[in-house]
Amino acid sequence: MSTFSAPRGTYDLIPPDSADFLAVREAMAAPLRRAGYGYIETPGFEQVELFSRGVGESTDIVTKEMYTLTTKGGDRLALRPEGTASVLRAALEANLHRGALPVKLWYSGSYYRYERPQAGRYRHFSQVGAEVLGAEDPALDAELIILAADAYASLGLTGVRLLLNSLGDRECRPGYRTALQDFLRGLDLDEDTRRRIEVNPLRVLDDKREAVQRQLTGAPLMRDHLCEACKEYHEQVRELLTGAGITFEDDPKLVRGLDYYTRTTFEFVHDGLGSQSAVGGGGRYDGLSEMIGGPALPAVGWALGVDRTVLALRAEKIAPDLPRGTEVFAVPLGEDARRALFALVTELRRAGVAADFAYGGKGMKNGMKSADRSGARFALVAGERDLAEGTVQLKDLASGEQSPVGLGALVGTLLAALRPEPS
């Protein structure tokens, strides 16, 4: 056992559990690739100001949860707490916005927040995200939501609900902000929350404390203050989702935890996860580029939580479709067989067959135990007599049937058994 352990609030991904995480990431990424999204990867840390400007000075992420450090050169950096600001910074730096628009990007990685550790809330967590830059089009908002919903459906999840709202824009939100502040100032709130009223009153609506939520009954709602343009935009998003067969719930109090959202905002929740029910979400953020010093650039995106989606699968007792495990396991008996079977295993792998080998000079008994533990369908066994006859023994580990197969025909025989042509 090591002297060290993983830091509090983090985890190691090891087999076999890691296979579920890989399956979830692939399920989330596959619809994006089919829809023309290109992959982007950004550093694990950025300048602190990127997040304080973009995510919002008043958010819990910036004020309480960011991991920050100062380099020897005096630079103030932060481990990335979310992906959108980093992706937008990278796209602007590479001048992607000066080319063909919209720019459609997806990413996957680890993010860091100093949270109070609990099930579904970690200090290091994994997300798959998608961002579309350079177009203000309700069809893009709908596309992203549909792609996320399709990802969850492809995993077999049935308990995921979609919540939908509009947060208006710079034309209609100021009037709503004033009305909400007037309402909130009359409530019995603690000092920190009262300060938040003056900085970002919408964040008070997102307060999960029951004592606060009870007082929010009758609070002004953004939907009652939307301008005609925002109403029309939101209605188009709703119509496109309905036309695609996506079920959603209108949630007029949905604001999410980041300051940059405008118009469309949405969240995917799973009721089997307790208080940490959000498995993904996002929205439109047309003003974020300007917040971080870029040009006006409409954009929309989402991030889906890999960790919580795995928990949702386990809550529904669903085993995701996993990549192929070992299909063929080779057990050599003697040095000549070791060389011959190692060459065959290499050939099988190059032909697309998942193959493994009894390393370490194991005998027949231990080699076959390893073959059984691997979950392989077939075992290859060869000794001096088999090689002299130009064959290997092919054993079906499910039925126990065994027969000799010529060395030259082995790859074709296995491919025919493992990848039968449709009739």
pLDDT at res. 276? 78
pLDDT at res. 258? 61
40, pLDDT greater than 90: yes
Other beta carbons within 10 angstroms of residue 267's beta carbon come to 22
pLDDT at res. 259? 62
DSSP-derived pairing of the beta strands 160-166 and 249-250: parallel
pLDDT at res. 302? 97
| Per-chain mean pLDDT for the chain | 91
Tens of pLDDT, residues 192-209:
888 888 888 887 887 778
Phi then psi for residue 327, to 5 deg, are: -105, -35
DSSP-derived pairing of the beta strands 262-270 and 278-284: antiparallel
Give me the numbers of helices (H) and strands (E) for the chain, helices first please.
16, 16
139, pLDDT greater than 90: yes
What distances in angstroms separate CA 156 from CA 105, 159, 164, 312, one per listed residue? 25, 9, 22, 10
Q: Omega of the bond prior to 404 within 30 degrees of 0, cis?
A: no
pLDDT at res. 285? 92
Percentage of the chain exceeding pLDDT 70? 97
Tens of pLDDT, residues 292-330:
999 999 999 999 999 999 999 999 999 988 777 899 999
346, pLDDT greater than 90: yes
pLDDT at res. 420? 85
Strand spans (E) along 134-277:
160-166, 249-250, 262-270
pLDDT at res. 140? 98
Question: Token digits for 136?
Answer: 């203000």
pLDDT at res. 193? 85
Tens of pLDDT, residues 209-266:
888 888 888 888 888 999 999 999 999 999 999 999 999 999 988 887 566 788 999 9
pLDDT at res. 339? 94
pLDDT at res. 213? 86
pLDDT at res. 191? 86
- Tell me the residue type at 84: T
- Tell me the residue type at 271: D
361, pLDDT greater than 90: no
State mean pLDDT over 149-156: 96
State mean pLDDT over 117-123: 82
Closest by Cα among 303, 237, 289, 262 to 133: 289
The conformation of residue 60, written as its DSSP 8-state character, comes to H
61, pLDDT greater than 80: no
Instruction: Quote the CA–CA distance of 133 and 148 in Å, as a whole number.
Output: 18
Read off the pLDDT band of 162 (50, 70, 90).
Answer: very high
With beta carbons less than 8 A apart as the criterion, state whether 52 and 96 touch.
Answer: no
For 187-222, the DSSP string reads S---HHHHHHHHH-THHHHT---HHHHHHTTT---G
For 17-172+226-315, CATH gives 3.30.930.10
Q: What angle do CA 295, 298, 304 make, to 5 degrees?
A: 120
- Tell me the residue type at 102: P
State mean pLDDT over 132-157: 97
Q: What angle do CA 252, 222, 166 make, to 5 degrees?
A: 65
pLDDT at res. 52? 86
Instruction: Please report which helix (H) or strand (E) contains residue 173, including its range.
Output: helix 173-184
57, pLDDT greater than 70: no
pTM above 0.85, yes or no: yes
For 279-295, the DSSP string reads EEEEEE-TTHHHHTT--
Q: For the chain, which residues make up each domain, given as ranges?
A: 17-172+226-315, 328-416
Closest by Cα among 133, 69, 85 to 286: 133
Instruction: Please report which helix (H) or strand (E) contains residue 381, including its range.
Output: strand 378-382
Closest by Cα among 394, 362, 299 to 101: 299
Instruction: Quote the CA–CA distance of 66 and 69 in Å, as a whole number.
Output: 10
What distances in angstroms separate CA 105 from CA 95, 143, 300, 309, one per listed residue? 14, 13, 11, 21
With beta carbons less than 8 A apart as the criterion, state whether 19 and 322 touch.
Answer: yes
Strand partners, 46: 78
Instruction: Quote the CA–CA distance of 35 and 28 in Å, as a whole number.
Output: 12
Using the CB atoms, write b or e for 292-331: b if 16+ within 10 Å: bebeebbbbbbbbbbbbbbbbbebeeeebeeeeebbbbbb
The conformation of residue 409, written as its DSSP 8-state character, comes to G
pLDDT at res. 322? 77
For 328-416, CATH gives 3.40.50.800
